[in-house]
Amino acid sequence: MKVLLSGAGGQLGQALIASAPKGLELVATSRQELDLADPEACRSAVEHHQPDWVLNAGAYTAVDKAEAEPELAYAVNARAPEAFARALDEQGGRLLQISTDFVFNGTQGTPYQPEQARDPLGVYGASKAAGEAALQNVFGAEGRGLILRTSWVIGPVGSNFALTMLRLHRERNQLGVVADQVGCPTSTLNLAMACWRSLEVAAESELPAVMHWSDAGAASWYDVAVAVGRIGAELGLIDTPAEVQPITTADYPTPAERPAYSLLDCTSTRAALELHGEHWQQALKAVLQQAKTP
């Protein structure tokens, strides 16, 4: 099986490369090698490599910056997956599109099901929702395009909330972190496993067109920040955790509005992939262990 991977330099891309199954022919492309803002480059990559799968792990993920750069956000998050889908529709092959909890508005207060209607709040969520819609428009009900939504991605490399909090615990005595936004962190280590498992299962049986994957449990950003301090101290990554104070979203205004409750229901996906969810605190510990430096 030949897989064309986008976003190879990102935190998920690096986890995917590190955990790629043996015997897989992986064509890993970073931003320098494949500019997702260029639909023609996406189409050409498919035509040149003729993959069995495109695993589109690349994305424009700067949620606040997207409000000021909507054209770039839509180019990367919507037009790139559409270009991949159209090229694969002509050449043959399938697409696994990584998407986000931000396609929902976060107002219902219960976990979101994969089949629920999209209703994003800001440019980032809207651009990812448009990418989902474009994929579905191209492939229809053929089952050649799969969407895997995830949330609050953290990993041992790159830029993410866990590593930022680890640094701030080292630098400060006190932190204020938003406590009224609820979701669930997702380790890139576990997300990569779910991606590869999706391709494996899809080769033998039909998967749901839209799937949800996060680590298990629920948390606020405040909960995660506290856990980073506690686990970081246990691992010897910091001397003494900072005191973390809960604040509200209103206390920490941002350009982009964020969903207040974006927990994803992963029950059907775990059953389809025959994978158990790891609690987010255990997953966080594994992330911080790998992020440990001498």
Q: Could you tell me if 251 and 177 are in contact, meaning their C-beta atoms sit under 8 angstroms apart?
A: no
The answer, yes or no, to whether residue 79 has pLDDT greater than 80, is: yes
Catalytic residue among 124, 222, 252, 261: 124
DSSP symbol at 173: S
Q: Could you tell me if 149 and 213 are in contact, meaning their C-beta atoms sit under 8 angstroms apart?
A: yes
What pLDDT band is residue 292 in, cutting at 50, 70 and 90?
low
Active site residue 124: yes
The answer, yes or no, to whether residue 148 has pLDDT greater than 80, is: yes
Per cent of the chain over pLDDT 70 is 99
In 3D space, the residue among 124, 95, 99 whose CA is nearest the CA of residue 114 turns out to be 99
In order of 91, 127, 159, 233, the CA distances from 67 in angstroms are: 35, 11, 19, 36
Average pLDDT over residues 7-19: 97
What pLDDT band is residue 142 in, cutting at 50, 70 and 90?
confident
Report helix, strand or coil for 188. Answer: helix
Strands (DSSP E) contained in the chain are 2-6, 25-28, 53-56, 94-100, 145-150, 153-154, 174-178, 182-183, 186-187, 210-212, 219-220, 243-247
The answer, yes or no, to whether residue 22 has pLDDT greater than 90, is: yes
Q: What is the pTM of this model?
A: 0.96
Mutual orientation of helices 161-171 and 280-291 as an angle, nearest 10°? 70
- What's the one-letter identity of residue 261? Y
- The pLDDT tens digits of the residues spanning 67-77 come to 999 999 999 99
Average pLDDT over residues 94-113: 97
Structural domains in the chain, CATH included, are 2-151+187-214+264-277 (3.40.50.720)
pLDDT for 15 equals 97
- The pLDDT tens digits of the residues spanning 211-232 come to 999 999 999 999 999 999 999 9
The token duo for 180 is 């009224």
